[in-house]
């Protein structure tokens, strides 16, 4: 039976009745079908006792899951499209590592689906970007490697594809103090040396960048680990800025903590010029 509503803050079940595992994710529209990629967190959470300076909570790396849908409500599990590499403790995708915020986009120049994600050591000290590609939206994706964009550190990220086909990696850098918007190469596998520093020194993460009626819009969170904080919205005529801050875009009960959640993606809805879908995660650092 098809669902007609979903309830924010409650487990959202897939078409098999299992909780959707697609956290920190993003939605791609391809040939009239929606594809939702996100972190699979089906592993026990624990405090990383090897880290003493901050409250590092983690789970072993499970992989990136994909779901597909034709109505954004009923999602079919397409499985884990990029999984861990268990037999090599040094591999960036070993279960002991971190894999967060995957975003997938189709590159018409290469005919490849390209996935970018935050890849890290158990203590978040690597701060790099993982890249994987596939010929099909349902994967499997092939891991192409890890990069530090233009040599910079990179933690929370998203990817924005502009109307002119250029692709931009939006990532928290400088130890999360400054957000970078870095142009990707034509095949989207590398950075190019062109980048903009925005919100310098303002410690923003969880970026969601989209375009609406000729303006760029950027929603970010503050840096409070797994705990929620107020979102912030900014707009600009150019990616390089200047960016104008407008404050917290949320309204109603819970707005002051982004409804207990943290931004991950905004999908401008096809065929609905003024409708955008805002996606955010309600994290539970204990589970």
Residues that bind ligand DGJ (CB under 6 A): 24, 100-101, 156, 205-206, 225-226, 262
Burial of 185 (0-12, 13-18, 19+ CB in 10 A): exposed
Q: How far is the CB of 134 from ligand DGJ (least distance, A)?
A: 23
* CB of 249 vs ligand DGJ, minimal distance in Å: 18
Nearer to ligand DGJ, 48 or 69 (CB): 48
Q: Which is nearer to ligand DGJ, 99 or 236 (CB)?
A: 99
**86 vs 224 by CB, closer to ligand DGJ:** 224
| CA triple 142-147-153, angle to 5 deg | 140
**Contact indicator for 23, 36 with CB cutoff of 8 Å:** no
Tell the smallest beta-carbon distance from residue 152 to ligand DGJ (Å): 17
- Least distance (Å) from ligand DGJ to the CB of residue 55? 8
Identify which of residues 24 and 137 has a Cβ nearer to ligand DGJ in the complex. Answer: 24
CB of 258 to ligand DGJ, least distance (A): 12
Is the backbone peptide bond immediately before 242 cis, with ω within 30 degrees of 0? yes
Q: What is the smallest separation between the CB atom of 155 and ligand DGJ, expressed in angstroms?
A: 6
Classify residue 246 as exposed, middle or buried by CB count within 10 Å of its CB (0-12, 13-18, 19+). Answer: exposed
Nearer to ligand DGJ, 61 or 107 (CB): 61
Which residue's CB is nearer to ligand DGJ, number 116 or number 183? 116
Q: Pick the closest to residue 253 from 4, 8, 6 (CA basis).
A: 8
**Which of residues 178 and 262 has its CB atom nearest to ligand DGJ in the complex?**
262
- Contact between 231 and 263 under an 8 Å Cβ cutoff? The reply is yes
Distance CA(258)–CA(252), nearest Å, equals 10
Closest approach of ligand DGJ to the CB of residue 45, in Å = 11
Q: Work out how close the CB of 14 gets to ligand DGJ at its nearest, in angstroms, rounded to a whole number.
A: 22
Instruction: Considering the complex, state which of residue 123 and residue 187 has its C-beta at the smaller distance from ligand DGJ.
Output: 123
| Closest residue to bound ligand DGJ by CB | 225
The tokens for 207 are 């970026």
């Amino acid at each position: 039976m098809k669902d007609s509503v979903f309830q924010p803050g409650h487990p959202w079940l897939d078409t098999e009745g299992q909780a959707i595992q697609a956290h920190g994710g993003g939605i791609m529209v391809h040939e009239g079908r929606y594809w939702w990629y996100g972190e699979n967190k089906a592993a026990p959470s624990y405090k990383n006792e090897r880290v003493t300076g901050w409250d590092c909570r983690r789970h072993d790396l499970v992989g990136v899951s994909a779901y597909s849908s034709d109505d954004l409500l009923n999602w079919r599990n397409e499985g884990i499209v990029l999984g861990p590499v268990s037999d090599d403790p040094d591999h960036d995708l070993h279960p002991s590592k971190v894999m967060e915020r995957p975003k997938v986009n189709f590159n018409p120049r290469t005919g490849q689906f390209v996935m970018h994600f935050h890849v890290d050591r158990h203590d978040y000290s690597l701060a790099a970007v993982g890249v994987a590609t596939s010929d099909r939206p349902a994967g499997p994706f092939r891991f192409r490697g890890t990069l530090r964009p233009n040599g910079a550190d990179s933690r929370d990220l998203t990817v924005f594809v502009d109307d002119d086909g250029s692709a931009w990696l939006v990532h928290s850098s400088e130890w999360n103090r400054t957000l970078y918007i870095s142009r990707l190469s034509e095949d989207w596998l590398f950075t190019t040396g062109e980048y903009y520093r925005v919100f310098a020194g303002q410690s923003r993460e969880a970026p969601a960048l989209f375009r609406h009626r000729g303006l760029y819009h950027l929603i970010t969170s503050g840096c409070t680990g797994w705990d929620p904080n107020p979102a912030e919205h900014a707009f600009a005529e150019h990616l390089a800025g200047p960016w104008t801050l407008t404050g917290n875009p949320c309204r109603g009960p819970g707005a002051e903590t982004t409804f207990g959640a943290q931004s991950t993606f905004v999908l401008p809805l096809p065929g609905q010029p003024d409708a955008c879908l805002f996606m955010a995660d309600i994290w539970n650092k204990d589970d």
